Amino acid sequence: MRLAYIDYHTCGEPVRIVTSGYPQLTGAGILDKRRQAREQHDDLRRAMMLEPRGHDGMYGVIPVQASHPEAAFGVLFTHNEGYSTMCGHATIALGRYAIEQGLVEATEPVTRFAIEAPCGLVRLTCEVEGGKVGDVSFESVPAFVEARDLVVPVPGYREIITDIAYGGAYYCILPASRFGLDLMQTPIEEIVAAAGALTDQVRASRRIMHPTEPDLGFLYGTIVTDEAGPGEDSFNLCVFAERQIDRSPTGSGVTARMALDHAKGLIPVGQNRRIRSVTGGTFTGKVIGPVDFLAAGAVTVEVGGRGHLAGEGSFVIEADDPLGHGFALPKRFAEIAG
């Protein structure tokens, strides 16, 4: 079996887009296609994301036929553990991919189109000059606060106070100081451990229900921030799935942060804020305004950044290869013995 792909990155976070070889998904809606991919073709996700072709920080996109009439195409987002509902860094890379690969007709200086993500319709605005795409921004699905000042006992730490917000996916959002850590000075691995422990506890103790789609009702990860004020550039680290570190500022996470800060009265409609990641990469975010939605205080948010082409090629999966569909390095030999 052979799968063709194009690789991009956004602020260092990879985006592997499948261009041919993936089976056609027949589900009626985008969430049906997501379920079908998970239940029938997850071996291909593993082959693309995990070793020996990928790594535990790999991220991917499977383009599919859209069911929404306004969408140019649909997308499924993949990572080391499964399938996400929204991905901002991948959406930014998709803006470049769609135009430069001819899926969307380019108009200069700005090209606008929409894609259908599992979380809903996402509208993109792409700067184009000489046929090449520069900055890309997207308008989020309705973003809102799920919980404020939630107290969570976390083993090994203490009772942690966190907020939960939705920006296409649900995140715990809190400053590193709540763990007794310093985002700028504490070793990254310690921040990842703390964020992962909080995610595990919230997943185990709290049921999250999306207002319209049950498939979207789960905690995706935790975003750990610095102490910067709302008028300052801010750094954050997003830890999602199975302790995967986002190299970018996290597009859906920036969306959730902006919705949360707006709900707290810290940032008004139309004010830009720059969010930076562990690579130093930057996304800009701003609240566009309120939106009529079933969650109180919902807003739409604009997030912008730039994607870069990294390579392209094809993968071969040999029928007799015992590791052909990917593997995650085990923590101990006992996991593979027997």
Element (H, E) at 338: none
Q: Which residues pair with 168 in a beta bridge?
A: none
Tell me the DSSP string of 254-268.
Answer: HHHHHHHHHHTTSS-
Q: Between β-strands 219-225 and 234-240, what pairing exists: parallel, antiparallel or unpaired?
A: antiparallel
Q: Of 303, 274, 305, give the one whose Cα is nearest residue 288.
A: 303
SS3 109: coil
Nearest-5° angle of CA 204, CA 255, CA 17? 85
Helices vs. strands in the chain: H and E counts, helices first: 5, 18
SS3 166: strand
Contact 7, 14 (CB under 8 A): yes
Residue 78 region by backbone torsions, left for phi larger than 0, else alpha for psi between -120 and 50, else beta: beta
The question of whether 11 is a catalytic residue gets the answer no
Contact 301, 287 (CB under 8 A): yes
d(CA 143, CA 254): 10
Q: Which of 11, 87, 126, 172 is catalytic?
A: 87
The one-letter amino acid at 155: P
Active site residues: 87
